Chain A
Amino acid sequence: MINLRPLLRYPLVALATLVALAPVYWMLTISLKHEVDQFAVPPLWFSFTPTLEHYRDAFLTRNFGHYLITSTIVAVCSTFCALVIGTLGAYALARFQMPRRLDRKLSLWILSTRMFPPIVTAVPLFLMMRDLGLLNTRASLVILYTGFNLPFVVWMMRGFFLEVPRELEEAAMVDGDSRLGALRRVLLPLVAPGLAATAVFCLIISWNEFLFALVLTQTDAAMTLPVGIAGRVTQYEIKWGVMSAAGVVAMVPILIFALAVQKYLVRGLSLGAVKG
């Protein structure tokens, strides 16, 4: 391998880490600074008196608390729906041979629906939700995110199912279990870590999603945290402290989740193509 001396390697890695983290840390400081300190020149990285006033302002005075609740409900409901529907589909595709390799073709077709740029379907889906009277509702986002996460769930869970030897289920079925009984009692416990990781990925994807939320929810009652934040960024007068506080709150659960699924991160991001 390339033999860079450790003396050279550590500074480079440290520099990369600094570049990755410093901007995020900067947002964190802005969310905790009094306004005078926010505009200080040169910038105050460490020495300032922290305050929680922006968090109070954002989540108690303004509507960010409400956006937070909406984001949570939408992410949890859509993840649940996608997991239930997708896991059953994945099981069928992993365990049954359909005629003319239909199972393979279906799997790839399901994956390909995931590849469309979201903006392409934004117009028809907006019109669909408008005609259904679902604009500015949480339900519209739950429905869309379920569809959005479904290919991901199918593809991930199919991979996890294929890794479990069939013999284990067959043994259970010989002992008198039905197919779905074997799925529930034998297979699902074995893939539980993968299922949990897939669920966390779905939560992250739904929580972070912006375009559809922007297009479909424009009222305070229905908008998610990212849309609420974006609305404030593009206003003429920007409240930097409030923005940053909201940004920090939108970020923290995701980072915790991401740490929890680190082991599966590569697999999730490459839709199972690279198994890290």
Chain B
Amino acid sequence: MSEPSNSGVGYRVPGAGSDRRLAYLLVAPTVAVLVALSIYPLIHVVTLSLQVTSGGASRWSLGNFARLFSDHFFLAALGHTLVYAACALTLEFFLGLGLAVLMNNQLRGRSLFRAALLVPMMLPTVVAGVVWRLMLNPNFGAVNGTLRSWGLNTAALTWTSSPRLAMLSIVAVDVWQWTPFMFLILLAGLQAIPQEPYEAACMDGSSAWQTFRHVTLPLLKPAILVALLLRTMDLLRVFDQVFILTEGGPGFATETISLYIYRTAFRFSDFGYAAAMSFVLLIVTNIVSAFYIRVLQAREA
């Protein structure tokens, strides 16, 4: 997991001065593209969010941010996003860890199982949405159809169009699609753990649970951290699957932040307000990504 260090011994070949110029020249296109497509838009988001348009004229104001606090849609969307992220993250983590531990042992046909388990994660999110629209359709979907063939009454199980079950449905679909991600990262982490600590634990007569608790978990911590942080960032920005499955409905019961920003900007053309919400979302995900980058940095150092 470590990389050969880049620092230390200076790298001197004839013409080091022109080398440096070459380095800047090579990295310049990357920087230029990212400034145009990431940094400039970010600055634009901030300036947009600080302007209020009324009657064709726009002026500087904090009005967009003030509006956030009294906007029920925004607060509800924030709540939905947090509930969605917390539930999905918890379920995906424990299921993924369980599967990873299960598959870490000798298992015939392991690579085949592993490949099969990865299928949901690789699907385009839109296709995953289509798959579950079909599965969860109350009338002819496979889920209700199967339940009915077992003699259960499914009249109340309208899944994505039920105010009560819609959130559960979209969380379930996320868990279906992204548990493989946790599984994959954690399995890689498990396989990177050397044998010696286990042998030592075995000599000490540790029970299986003690070994897992005191040997496996601490050594798996870096992989766990990576998996949790990456998933958290993705969950906080969730858009595609929810857009396909419920469009934020029924009513607004499953509208997440990203969906509300989309609705504000591209249905109501209220770009200033959408920018203010984007800014809030950016701050929240930035906190998570700052952690992630710190983890990476620690790994490289």
Chain A residues with CB under 8 Å of chain B are: 1-4, 6, 9-10, 12-13, 16-17, 19-24, 26-27, 30, 38-43, 45, 85-86, 88-89, 91-98, 101, 103-104, 106, 108, 110-113, 115-128, 143-144, 146-148, 150-151, 154, 159, 162-163, 165-166, 170, 173, 179-180, 204, 207-208, 210-211, 214-215, 225-226, 229-230, 233-234, 238, 240, 243-244, 247, 250-251, 254-255, 258-259, 262, 265-266, 269-271, 273-276
Contacts and interface: CB of A to CB of B under 8 A. Distances in A.
Interface residues of B, number: 117
B223 interface: yes
Interface string B118-130: 1110111111011
Question: What 4 pairs between A and B have smallest CB-CB spacing?
Answer: A147-B37, A89-B30, A117-B237, A42-B149
B13 interface: yes
B282 A12 contact: no
Nearest to B247: A234
Interface of B: 1, 3-4, 6-7, 10-11, 13, 19-20, 22-27, 29-31, 33-34, 36-42, 44-45, 48, 99, 101-105, 107, 113, 115-120, 122-127, 129-135, 139-142, 145-146, 148-149, 176, 180-181, 184-185, 187-189, 191-192, 198, 208-209, 211-212, 216, 222-223, 226-227, 230, 233, 236-237, 239-240, 243-244, 247, 257-258, 261-262, 265-266, 271, 274-275, 278-279, 281-282, 285-286, 289, 292-293, 295-297, 299
Given A43-B140, A115-B233, A269-B181, A123 B104 contact: no
Given A120-B45, A255-B119, A230 B34 contact: no
22 contacts: A9-B102, A20-B180, A23-B134, A24-B123, A39-B139, A41-B145, A41-B149, A42-B146, A92-B26, A97-B7, A110-B30, A113-B38, A118-B237, A118-B239, A123-B278, A124-B48, A126-B266, A163-B4, A210-B125, A230-B129, A233-B133, A274-B222
A151 B27 CA distance: 12
A23 B120 CA distance: 9
A42 B30 contact: no
Contacts of B257: 119
B293 A112 contact: yes
A123 B278 CA distance: 9
Contacts of A265: 118, 184
Given A147-B33, A179-B22, A210-B124, A173 B13 contact: yes
Chain B interface secondary structure, helix, strand, loop or mixed?
Answer: helix
A35 B193 CA distance: 52
Contact of A230 (B27, B37, B216, B243): B243
A26 B135 contact: yes
A12 B258 CA distance: 36
Contacts of B278: 117, 119-123
Contacts of A26: 131, 134-135, 142
B211 to A, nearest CB: 7
A113 B39 contact: yes
Contacts of B185: 266, 269-270, 274
Which of B3, B38, B119, B149 counts the most A-chain CB atoms under 10 A from its CB?
B38
